[in-house]
């Protein structure tokens, strides 16, 4: 469904120009394959939030961002495209705001962050619907509207899930906000907890990179040595000038070259042990050193009796050993 149809019934007029400048080509793959609710259904949910509500113009200086972030920086092209569209044709689709829960007279964005940024950049008020809602309703509306537009990348959705968890939202709320099941949520959180946040921020939204590629990078980054490799790569001159997808590809390639598996510690070979047999097999033993100890293990028919004999004659055997040692050392 095109972005222009998302809230068409609210504004009561045709919207020939896409409000958000078109969708990303990251479309229904990776994490999106696990969505349980159709795009059309989610768009209807967004419409119902605004139906029958008055559209007002709000000074952007009175508007604060959502209490939970759902985007990474690095999508300047899409922002500029949207800015050009709104500058030329106006803002067709309103944003959804709520009265700020902690600051009287101010507002908090529920969805429409980029349209607010554009209005601020253009020095004009933003067209908005203001609706009272609690935090749970807020994150559900924010998450489902983003899903309906299908322009968040896998890693942005994964970070959104992490941010929701970090502010104390229940697992069930996060799943509903992103329309995912518990398994996918766990996989998203595993990616964002294993790959350091500063590395993800350095890469950016990576619109073309799906879940499988991020999970592969996660496996590589599970090794601390590879995190150091990643830090060197993102600090390389010119890395920050690359587009986000290219950043990911370079990072993944270089970290993979550094080695997928941790280097195993070299271990000293265990001292060799020897076997001893006497009396046509009536007595057998395994003899050798283990660390600082020297072991004799006796088996077969005469093991018990010979073992007792040894233990009873240890003093004499040790005296014989000392005498032999002295004879050997005497010039």
CA distance 63 to 61: 6
DSSP per-residue codes, 124-174: -PEEEEE----HHHHHHHHHHHHHHHT-S-HHHHHHHHHHHHHTT--HHHH
Find the helix or strand (DSSP H, E) in which 247 lies: helix 244-258
Asked if 118 and 83 count as a contact pair (C-beta separation under 8 A), the reply is yes
pLDDT by residue, tens only, the chain of 331 residues:
333 333 332 223 333 333 333 333 333 444 334 333 443 444 455 455 555 468 999 999 999 999 888 777 656 677 888 899 999 989 988 999 999 999 999 999 999 888 999 999 999 999 999 999 999 999 888 888 877 665 688 999 999 999 999 989 899 999 988 888 999 999 999 999 999 999 999 999 988 899 999 999 999 999 989 999 999 999 999 898 888 889 999 999 999 988 654 555 555 555 667 777 887 778 877 788 777 788 888 877 888 888 888 889 889 988 888 888 877 666 5
> pTM for the full model?
0.57
Q: What does the DSSP assignment read for 2-25?
A: -GGGTTHHHHTS---S-TTSS--S
**Separation in Å, CA 320 to CA 308, 325, 328, 329:** 18, 9, 12, 14
Which part of the chain is CATH 3.90.1530.10? 3-195
Q: Which helix (H) or strand (E) holds 63?
A: strand 63-64
CA-CA distance, 192 to 165, in Å (whole number)? 12
- 3.20.20.140, 3.90.1530.10, 3.40.50.2300, 3.40.50.880: which CATH number matches 3-195? 3.90.1530.10
Instruction: Say if CB 148 and CB 6 are below 8 A apart.
Output: yes
CA–CA separation, 216 vs 140, rounded Å?
29
- CA 307/CA 320 separation, integer angstroms: 18
The phi, psi pair for 286, rounded to 5°, reads -115, 120
CB 107 within 8 A of CB 120: no
């Amino acid at each position: 469904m095109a972005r222009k149809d998302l809230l068409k019934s609210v504004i009561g007029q045709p919207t020939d120009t896409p409000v958000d400048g078109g969708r990303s080509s990251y479309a229904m793959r990776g994490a999106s394959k696990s969505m349980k609710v159709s795009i059309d259904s989610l768009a209807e949910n967004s419409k119902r939030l605004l139906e029958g509500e008055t559209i007002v113009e709000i000074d952007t200086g009175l508007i604060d961002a959502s209490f939970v972030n759902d985007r990474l920086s690095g999508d300047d092209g899409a922002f500029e495209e949207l800015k050009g569209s709104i500058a030329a044709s106006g803002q067709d689709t309103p944003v959804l705001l709520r009265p700020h829960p902690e600051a009287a007279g101010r507002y908090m964005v529920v969805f429409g962050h980029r349209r607010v940024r554009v209005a601020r950049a253009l020095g004009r008020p933003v067209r908005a619907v203001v609706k009272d809602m609690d935090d749970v309703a807020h994150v559900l509306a924010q998450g489902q509207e983003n899903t309906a537009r299908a322009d968040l990348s896998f890693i942005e959705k994964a970070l959104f899930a992490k941010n929701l968890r970090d502010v104390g939202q229940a697992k069930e709320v996060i799943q509903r906000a992103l329309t995912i099941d518990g398994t996918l949520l766990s996989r998203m959180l595993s990616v964002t907890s294993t790959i350091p946040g500063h590395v993800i921020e350095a890469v950016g939204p990576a619109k073309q990179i799906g879940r499988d590629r991020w999970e592969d990078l996660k496996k590589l980054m599970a090794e601390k040595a590879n995190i150091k490799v990643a830090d060197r790569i993102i600090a390389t001159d010119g890395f920050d000038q690359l587009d986000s997808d290219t950043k990911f590809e370079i990072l993944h390639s270089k970290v993979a070259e550094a080695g997928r598996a941790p280097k195993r510690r070299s271990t000293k070979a265990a001292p060799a042990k020897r076997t001893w047999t006497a009396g046509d097999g009536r007595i057998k033993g395994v003899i050798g050193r283990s660390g600082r100890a020297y072991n004799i293990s006796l088996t077969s028919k005469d093991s018990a009796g010979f073992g007792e004999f040894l233990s009873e004659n240890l003093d004499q055997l040790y005296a014989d050993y000392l005498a032999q040692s002295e004879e050997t050392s005497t010039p």
